[in-house]
Structure 1
Amino acid sequence: MPSATLTFIFAIERGAPAPLTQQRTKAAVPFAGKYRVIDFTLANCLHSGLRQVLVLTQYKSHSLQKHLRDAWSLFNAELGEFITAVPPQMRTGGDWYGGVLDALRQNRYLIERSRAEQVLLLDGGLVYRMDYAELIRAHREQAAGVTCAVRPAGAAAADGVVALHCDDGERLQGLTHRPTLDADTPFDAPMGVYVVDKALLLRELDALAAAEAEAASAADPASPPGAGADLATHLLPPLLERETVHAYRFGGERGRVTPDRYWSDLGSTDAYFRANMALLEAEPPLDLYQPDWNILTYQGQYPPARTVPGARSGNEGIFVNSMLAAGSVIRGGGVSHSVLFPLVEVEDGAIVDETILFEGVKVGEGAQIRHCICDKDVIVRPGARIGFDRAADEARFDVSPEGIVVVPKGEQV
């Protein structure tokens, strides 16, 4: 069944957290010390036996496309296998992708010429582990036209989230946008994973194009059909009226991946920071060390990470409850409850606490950093302090509602 599936991964939007997507699309944002966000979706495809994967790219896509080349050139083209980046081809006009539905329309020819029986639609900006092969099997067993993977969502996150309403047979009956529910009322939400029969998807793209083109011509002729459209609110509602749409509950016992039921959209700086810090717990909600579903990525041929005494003080480098990637060196400094990507340097007497340091960050002697995210190649000068004076931090950097300071790429502090 996976061999009869064509997979689209959407990585066309800038996305959030905004301070980290100034130089890259959300799917290319570094995560968990060595990965990119899209690695989790691609690893799901790999382990699920999906070998025909198209990654739709657009916003500042160079970093993502380089990563796909370096980390994911795994498949054999002679066997019809591929992971291919597809920027806007402009086959239907001169427009860029105007949203996910418009991206599908512009690449309709790729769907038509595929021998696939169903199309898997995935958001490349999410972190979770899932056996898509089992989802596809359930889709075929139910003889569904569309299957939408759903996750339980707490009412505290209800505002801005689509609530799905299912009957006892797990058929979707309807959805509510921006639900207002009682504080103790749970509901199901879409998780950015859909299986659609190929013929049905082609028919629906035609119908949506006709309807939205008419609406767009009346409102804004320059706006492409489907601009800003997401799949949950634009693809599902018309299908619910005339097709069988089933829900597939995420985190069940079906499938080969251990069901940790972890899902995150990293939708803000604070959400991104919390997701990384959660990986440092004794029993993290997302276990990166499970051998049955490892996450692949690209990492350069760097030397081993190590701690060494400081040249001036002679103090040992200290490394406590943190992630330390290859090529990083702690020279007499102290690192606690932090995530360090490759080639990070922490010098003598520097203190790094509850902080995320991207690749190539250098922290000078005696510097102190806490509650901070330093983007790639940041240089923190000797004696600098970040995360101790909110007013001073806000004058220089982006500071989240929960007080997380984000230092932009290449900044010298």
Structure 2
Amino acid sequence: MDLSRNTIALILGGGRGTRLFPLTKIRAKPAVPLAAKYRLIDIPISNCINSGLRRAFVLTQFMSVSLHRHLRQAYTFDSFSGGFVELLAAQQTMDSGTDWYQGTADAVRKNLRYIDQPEIEHVLILSGDQLYRMDFRDMMQTHIDADADATIAGIPVDRKDASALGIMQLDDSGRVTGFVEKPQTDEELAKVRMDPSWIDARGIESKGRDCLASMGLYIFKKEVMVNLLEGNDHQDFGKEVFPNALQSHKVQMHLFDGYWEDIGTIRAFYEANLSLAGSAPPFQLGDANAPIYSRARFLPPTIVGDNVSIRGSIIADGCYIGSNVTIENSVIGLRTVIGENAVIKNSVVMGADYSRDHEFSQTGPVPIGIGAGSHVDGAILDKNSRIGTNVTITNQQNLDHMGEDEALQVRDGIAIVIKNGTVENDFSF
């Protein structure tokens, strides 16, 4: 199925990304680094490219400079395919006024003029903060075969996870007949709970899962989407647009059971990154048939010193790892410099935006990287972090939350050194 001619993708970049703060303090959520060398936005864009879809808008409104730079440097298509990935930041217009996007539906409504073009028949709406691999041609086939007005990608989940997701009820044909956004009570859940045998009968092992959750991936007939958004003030697809659409339109579900993770919180981001570093990761970054694309940087290979122990970890290009270093269950990002005798465990180190020499000074300004003799465990070190010599970052007090403007903060029990943050020599936390 060819998606290149009549389909366009809208990737929703979200607002301030408060649940990912402080990683989103000075960058848009889709620009947050992922898995040592990628950014969150690379996932939906790569899925589009691998599905033959090469026209996409990214909708965002907050700190979009680095995201714009990344898109410009990473995604350039030839002039014959008509492909593009363009950023649509919130802007003042005669129609939309001065308001920022008030939600997912409002963001799409304020950009309908870019979508309502004669050659576009279908609109694919994606999230900018999820980790998964999907061929959207399969979802489009479901959409067309059912002659649906809209199609939602759905995944089976346990009822214990349902309170954080939009849960659907379906009839035997796969048509969505009920939808509850983040059900909090047994009564709400009972309205949309499915029999696990329904899932088993469709070639997917239910494993006792009795809820079908929306993945936040939608296909609309363009005219239907325009009609659903115009003339009202609906702000969110899950809470308002779909519950209303069920009454007047045919909404189908496309069943999916691969790896899917919503990276909306610090804890989810941390755990998703570390899961990729194991010997049997649940999500394969290196799939030759559906690669994850990003910006090509042409960095040198990583240099590893003597007597270094690296286990269950990802090491990106351009790094320097000094002698007698131990790295376990960690993600080490681009251009990371680690001094001798350092220990890095269970941590996400995002690396640096530029290279530096490998020498660590005992006096003077702390250089970018992790100093000699430092011990980091259970932490996230954002880009260009400066960790001095003999520093300990292990959250010894098991704090769940700490700090707002400091270089070192804690969210969801995870210590975070913010982008460009400095931790002085001999500091212990």
Determine whether 1:230 maps to 2:222. Answer: no
Larger fraction in helix: 1
Determine whether 1:411 maps to 2:421. Answer: yes
Q: Is the 8 A contact 1:120 1:196 kept in 2?
A: yes
In structure 2, what is the equivalent of residue 241 of structure 1? 247
> Secondary structure of the equivalent of 2:120?
coil
Aligned equivalents of 1:143, 1:54: Cα separation in 2? 25
Q: Is the 8 A contact 1:339 1:355 kept in 2?
A: yes
Report deviation, 1:336. Answer: 1.5
In structure 2, what is the equivalent of residue 158 of structure 1? 162
In structure 1, what is the equivalent of residue 409 of structure 2? 398
Aligned equivalents of 2:67, 2:422: Cα separation in 1? 25
Q: Which amino acid aligns with 1:231?
A: F
Determine whether 1:7 maps to 2:9. Answer: yes
Q: Is the 8 A contact 1:14 1:59 kept in 2?
A: yes
In structure 1, what is the equivalent of residue 84 of structure 2? 82
Q: Is the 8 A contact 2:339 2:370 kept in 1?
A: yes
Aligned partner of 2:281 among 281, 284, 287: 284
Aligned partner of 2:176 among 172, 177, 193: 172
Task: Give the direction of change, closer, same or farther, for the CA distance of 1:319–1:114 in structure 2 (3 Å limit).
Answer: farther
Aligned equivalents of 1:87, 1:267: Cα separation in 2? 20
Aligned equivalents of 2:221, 2:254: Cα separation in 1? 15
Greater Cα shift, 162-171 or 99-108 = 99-108
In structure 2, what is the equivalent of residue 254 of structure 1? none
Aligned partner of 1:192 among 213, 216, 231: 216
Q: Is the 8 A contact 2:165 2:181 kept in 1?
A: yes
Q: What whole-Å deviation, never above 9, does each CA across 1:251-289 have from its counterpart, x for those lacking one? A: 3xxxxxxxxx11111122111111111112222110112
In structure 2, what is the equivalent of residue 128 of structure 1? 132
Task: Give the direction of change, closer, same or farther, for the CA distance of 1:51–1:408 in structure 2 (3 Å limit).
Answer: same
Aligned equivalents of 1:153, 1:398: Cα separation in 2? 33
Aligned partner of 2:339 among 333, 339, 347: 347
Q: Which amino acid aligns with 1:286?
A: F
In structure 2, what is the equivalent of residue 32 of structure 1? 35
Report deviation, 1:86. Answer: 1.2
In structure 2, what is the equivalent of residue 62 of structure 1? 65
User: TM-score scaled to structure 1, two decimals?
Assistant: 0.87
Report deviation, 1:388. Answer: 4.8
Determine whether 1:98 maps to 2:102. Answer: yes
Aligned equivalents of 1:277, 1:186: Cα separation in 2? 28
Q: Is the 8 A contact 2:316 2:333 kept in 1?
A: yes
Report deviation, 1:178. Answer: 2.7
> Secondary structure of the equivalent of 1:156?
helix
Report deviation, 1:54. Answer: 1.0
> Secondary structure of the equivalent of 1:248?
strand
Q: What whole-Å deviation, never above 9, does each CA across 1:41-71 have from its counterpart, x for those lacking one? A: 0011001111221111211111111110111
> Secondary structure of the equivalent of 1:240?
helix
Report deviation, 1:78. Answer: 4.3
In structure 2, what is the equivalent of residue 220 of structure 1? none
* Consecutive unaligned residues in structure 1, runs of 5 or more: 213-225, 252-260, 310-315
Number of matched residues? 378
Q: What whole-Å deviation, never above 9, does each CA across 1:194-216 have from its counterpart, x for those lacking one? A: 11101111111224x2xx3xxxx
Determine whether 1:328 maps to 2:319. Answer: yes
Q: What whole-Å deviation, never above 9, does each CA across 1:85-116 have from its counterpart, x for those lacking one? A: 11124331222222222222221211222411
Q: Which amino acid aligns with 1:399?
A: V
Task: Give the direction of change, closer, same or farther, for the CA distance of 1:388–1:197 in structure 2 (3 Å limit).
Answer: closer
Q: Which amino acid aligns with 1:39?
A: D
Aligned equivalents of 1:58, 1:77: Cα separation in 2? 28
> Secondary structure of the equivalent of 1:150?
strand
Report deviation, 1:378. Answer: 0.7
Q: Which amino acid aligns with 2:320?
A: V
> Secondary structure of the equivalent of 2:113?
helix
Q: Which amino acid aligns with 2:409?
A: D
> Secondary structure of the equivalent of 1:64?
helix
Q: Is the 8 A contact 1:307 1:318 kept in 2?
A: no
Q: Is the 8 A contact 2:92 2:98 kept in 1?
A: yes
User: TM-score scaled to structure 2, two decimals?
Assistant: 0.84
In structure 2, what is the equivalent of residue 256 of structure 1? none
Greater Cα shift, 281-290 or 83-92 = 83-92
Q: Which amino acid aligns with 2:104?
A: V
Aligned equivalents of 1:157, 1:398: Cα separation in 2? 28
> Secondary structure of the equivalent of 1:189?
strand
Aligned equivalents of 2:50, 2:169: Cα separation in 1? 30
Q: Which amino acid aligns with 1:369?
A: V
In structure 1, what is the equivalent of residue 379 of structure 2? 372
Q: Is the 8 A contact 2:15 2:101 kept in 1?
A: no
Aligned equivalents of 2:53, 2:92: Cα separation in 1? 27
Q: Is the 8 A contact 2:57 2:85 kept in 1?
A: yes
> Secondary structure of the equivalent of 2:384?
coil
Task: Give the direction of change, closer, same or farther, for the CA distance of 1:121–1:391 in structure 2 (3 Å limit).
Answer: closer
Task: Give the direction of change, closer, same or farther, for the CA distance of 1:140–1:371 in structure 2 (3 Å limit).
Answer: same
Aligned equivalents of 1:138, 1:185: Cα separation in 2? 22
RMSD of aligned Cα (Å): 2.0
Aligned partner of 2:48 among 25, 42, 45: 45
Question: Sequence identity, in percent?
Answer: 30
